[in-house]
Structure formats: structure tokens, C-alpha cells
Amino acid sequence: MIEALGVTCRYGATVVVDDVTLRLPAGGITSIIGPNGAGKSSLLSVISRLLPAASGRVLVDGMDVAVTPGDVLARRLSSLRQDNHLPARLTVRDLVAFGRYPHSKGRPTAADRPHVERAISYLGLEAQADRFLDELSGGQRQRAFIAMVLCQDTDYVLLDEPLNNLDMRHAVAIMRLLRRAATELGKTIVLVLHDLNFASCHSDRIVAMREGRVVMQGPPEAIMRPEALREIFDIEASVHEIGGDRIAVFYR
Amino acid sequence: MRGWPDVPRASPRAVLLALGLVAALCIALFMTLGVQGSWAFVLPFRAGKVATMLLVACAIAVSTVLFQTATGNRILTPAIMGFDSLYVLIQTCLVFFMGSAAMAAADRRLTFAGETAAMVLFSALLHWVLFSTARRSLHMLVLAGVVLGVLFRSLAAFLQRVIDPNEFAFLQDRFFASFNNPHGGLLMVSALAMLGAALLGLRAMRSWDVLALGRETAIGLGVAHRREVTRIMAIVAVLVSVSTALVGPVTFLGLLVANLAYAVMPSFRHVHVLPAAILLAVISLVGGQMLLERVFAFDTNLRVIIDFLGGLTFIALLLRGRVR
């Protein structure tokens, strides 16, 4: 279970996460949605200890992320940011193999190899496995980073806008993959998503944020309602049920 | 830059072997070319020069590569950030306040140890202040370093203007301690300091590979980012002290060899890149000094040649837009 207890986070005088208390039970896919500047990415960064909280605590399985040794946490929780630094001269396989670092401390063993190959094939990167990252397209690179995080093989996986740069086919493939990881392997997956309908079709829970606060949370049926969307995003949307999924239409 | 996926790549070991052979050849030629008179005099004399160059090559190559790993930027070097101008300032202050007579009388090994300690202390202080206040800390650190570098240089230049001309001559002799007159005692202390830095670094080598992925990814993979960056900054401070004490500031050598090493080495691992950068530095220094002595007949200074080539590399890097 991930618990954020009264988490506040500010950049200078600007409060971006305002006293958020949130409990995410283990298992399933949780999507965090909300308008730009709602504090979604900051909250995710605090949970994954990339950003110190000004006040409040975050507990992952009861361990305080601010004081737990980094390598202990790295075997329990993995995270991917929106923009990733790219060192040159790194192949896809090299990058994915870094996912084993928390387990092998940089000395990969025979047991690590299948993990790496499996993560590469999950993301359909076999053909690119030995290419350098700077020779790939943005979407392929994004998939390589997701493969690295999956290769880390942690109970909790936090992804900040994983569908960035991806075409529809790969976006759907990744959401299906995450679904499989959640149901078959019992992983807990937390995503920041911008595409409302992806969140609606694939999440078990949706957490809606606005102006640094959690304004609503619940199953997709509870969030995907015209009144709720108006409150969260200030938009007029109609919600239609198509093939069992709730789809919001707000394009006009 | 699109590559061809089917082109076979040389293995890191083969590249290292080739560089090692060239470096050994350079050293052998340097030791034996154009010997006139007694071998018993020439060999130890030249060996002293080679030892100095080897130490300086290690110090500059390693400090630059590590610094670039920590900052995630391939055009920043400790020299650009003013590490060596700080060393010059410390030296200038010592002479200014204590006088050259006292400095000349003092054991150079002692003053060297004191100066290195001051360097490490200063970089730790800079680091601590910036890490505890600024959020985008590394960029702040770098910017502050560039500005402070200018400050140190100006202060040192100011002190050198108002100082007694005799003292100035003494100082200049120290800063332009070129590869031609190595100081035996200093060599030993430098070698010891480098050994210490290596011991501090060897165990962290693999976590530095992760560090190159950037702060967020490194933390996500469980590397104590702040501790590793601090460790690198301490090592860099020691290494810069060593090279500046031995031969004075060499601005562009680090940039030159680090980027050449990234280019020729088909691997990103520090285990491969660091030795490649060291060997390239040995080749540039020993080979360059040989050219200087045999071709240009001491008409110019090695640092002029290296800074010229390094400067060209710097401009080429900027033009190719491979700067992050």
C-alpha cells in the first residue's frame, strides 16, 4: 500500500501539492488525472522520492521513502519520469539491463539475463535491442525506458505519462501490458495520464487532482460523468458508454 | 546521426589494446629518440618527465570524465568551472601574504597537502551550500562555478599586479612549471594523492555508470545520487590539485581527451571510458612533447598546442550541436 500523509510540496513560494492525503491499496492500476499544473507529476515525484516533500510523509508498505535506503526502495518501487536524460553510446539492451542494477549491483548474473530479454520482448523491441538509443525514434526510446522499469521487477511501478510520444498501437499495447502485469503478477501500477479515455478504459481507480489537491477519487464510473469532468477540468463533455467502456467526448 | 545496425563494432578491449600500444610506442620513442651523450643521464632525466606526464594525464582525464558524468554535460570541465583558477588564487595568496622566501623555504610536499585540502574543503562547501538551497542544484552549481572561476582569476590577477615584481617572477615560475622541470618530491606526493582518489573511486565505478543516466533515473535505480556526486567532486578536487601543482592550468586537454574517448570507445561504461581517456591523454602529452622537442625545437609551449587542438574540439562540439 502507498500512503501519502499530508504531503505538501512547493517550488519557492508556489504550493504545487497542497496537503494531500491519499491511500492507494496494493494491486491494480490507478490513474492520476487533472488539468496542467494540478500537481500530478509533483505528487508522483514525491512518492518516488525524486522530490523532497516540504511537509508530510509517504509510506510504501510502511517504509518512509524519505529515510529508507535508496537501494532497498529500488527493489520495491520503480519509477519513470516524463523526460529522460539520454547518455550517448547506450544500446537498448544496455539501458534495459540497468533495470537489474538494484538486484545485481551492476554485476549482472546469469539469472538477470532472462529478465532483460523478457522485458525487451514485452515491449516489442527485439529488432532494436542492439541499436543505440540516439538512433531510435521518440516512441521507441520511450518503450526502451518502460522496458527498463519493467525489468526492475518491483511490486510498485510509477509512470509519469508513459504514453507520451507513442502511436495508438503502442499506446494500447502498453496499457494492455500494464493490465497483464497488474492481474497476472499482482503489481501495483500508478500512472499520470493525460488521455482521459485511456484512463477510463484501463484503470481500476482514478484519482483526480486540481490545484494541488485531490478533488475526487473512485472507479472510472464515478469519475467519468459530465458533472465530475466539469468540476475537474472546466470542460463540457458528454460521456457515452461504448462496448462497456465510458468514453468522454469533448472535442468540439 | 543514423547508424548502420549491421556494421560490426570493435570490442572495447580491442580499442583499449590499440590505444595502449600507441601510448607505449610514444613513451618508448620519447625516451630513446635523439639521445646524445650519456644514456645514464638521459634516461632518468626523461623518465622524470614521463612520470610527470603520466600523472598529469591520469589526473586530467579522470577528473574531466567524472565531472562530466556528475553534471551530465559533455562540454563542462573542471577547468572551465574554475577549479584550477582557485588553485592559482590559493598559491598567489600564499605568496602575497607569506612572501616567496617563506614559500621557497617551506617543504613543497607540505604546502601541496595544505593547498589540496583547501581545494577539497572549498568544493565541499560550494557543493553543500548549493545542494541545501537550490533545487536545480547541479545547474546552479555549474553556473556558480563559472562565475566564481572568473572571480578567482580576477582576484589572482589583481594580487599579481600589486605584488613585488620578484615575488611575481617566483609565482610565474610556479604556474608555468612546464613538463621540463618536474619536482621529485612533489611527484611522490601526487602519486600518493592519486592512489587515495583511486581507492575512493574504484568501488563506486559501477554506480557512476548509472549516474550517467541522470539524477531521476539513478535515484529510481537506488543509487544514492547526492553521495556519489559529492564523492566525485572530492575526487575531482584532489586530481585538479595534482595536475595544477605539477604543470599549471591546462584548460582544454580534458575536454579533448574525454570527448575523443567517448567517440572511439564503443561502450559507455566507466571501466572502459576512463582507461581510454587516460591513454589518449598520455598519447597527447607524450606525443605532443616529443613533437615539441624534436620538431619545433622547444620554440613553443606544449600547452599552446594542446589548447589549440582542444579549442578546436570545443568549437566542433558546439557546431555539431552534441551539447547537452
Together in a domain, A71 and A133: no
Together in a domain, A140 and A105: yes
All residues at 6 or more sequence positions from A230 whose CB lies less than 8 Å from its CB, including other chains: A236, A237
User: Cβ separation of A78 and B267 shorter than 8 Å?
Assistant: no
| Element housing A214 (H / E) | strand A213-218
Together in a domain, A99 and A46: no
Confidence at residue B7, expressed as pLDDT on a 0 to 100 scale: 44
8 Å CB contact between A58 and A4: yes
When CB atoms are compared, the residue of B1, B207, B219 closest to A50 is B219
Which amino acid is located at A132 in the chain? F
Print the domain residue range for A46. 1-76+156-163+188-252
Q: Show the beta-strand stretches assigned E in A85-212.
A: 156-160, 188-192, 205-210
For domain B50-249, give the CATH superfamily: ABC transporter involved in vitamin B12 uptake, BtuC (1.10.3470.10)
Domain membership flag for residue A42:
yes
Residues of A with CB under 8 A from a CB of B: 11, 48-50, 69-75, 78-81, 84-85, 87-90, 94-95, 98-99, 101-102, 105-107, 130-132, 134-135, 149, 152
Together in a domain, A3 and A46: yes
How many structural domains compose chain A?
A: 2
Angle at B144 between CA B143 and CA B146, to 5 degrees: 65
Together in a domain, A99 and A147: yes
Q: Which tens digits make up the pLDDT trace of A134-172?
A: 888 888 888 999 999 999 999 999 999 999 888 999 899
pLDDT value at B283 more than 90: yes
Together in a domain, A47 and A1: yes
Categorize the per-residue pLDDT at B70 as very low, low, confident or very high, splitting at 50, 70 and 90.
confident
Q: Which tens digits make up the pLDDT trace of B212-271?
A: 888 889 999 999 888 888 888 888 888 988 888 888 777 788 888 998 898 888 888 899
> Which candidate in A50, A105, A145 is best for mutational testing of the B interface (most B CBs within 10 A)?
A50
Together in a domain, A85 and A65: no
Residue B8 touches partner A, C-beta closer than 8 Å:
no
pLDDT value at B137 more than 70: no
Distances (CA, A) of B171 to A142, B95, B101: 55, 7, 12
Categorize the per-residue pLDDT at A33 as very low, low, confident or very high, splitting at 50, 70 and 90.
very high
Average pLDDT, chain B: 81
Together in a domain, A42 and A14: yes
Domain boundary (A94, A126, A153) is at A153
Domain membership flag for residue A183:
no
B contact residues 123-162, partner A, Cβ 8 Å cutoff? 135
Domain membership flag for residue A37:
yes
Q: Which tens digits make up the pLDDT trace of A170-207?
A: 899 999 999 988 998 899 999 999 999 999 999 999 99
Together in a domain, A69 and A86: no
Sign of the dihedral through C-alpha A130, A133, A136, A138: positive
Together in a domain, A68 and A193: yes
ipTM for the complex shown:
0.88
Question: What CATH number is attached to the domain comprising A2?
Answer: 3.40.50.300
For the segment A118-123, the average pLDDT, to the nearest whole number, is 91
Domain membership flag for residue A170:
no
Domain membership flag for residue A173:
no
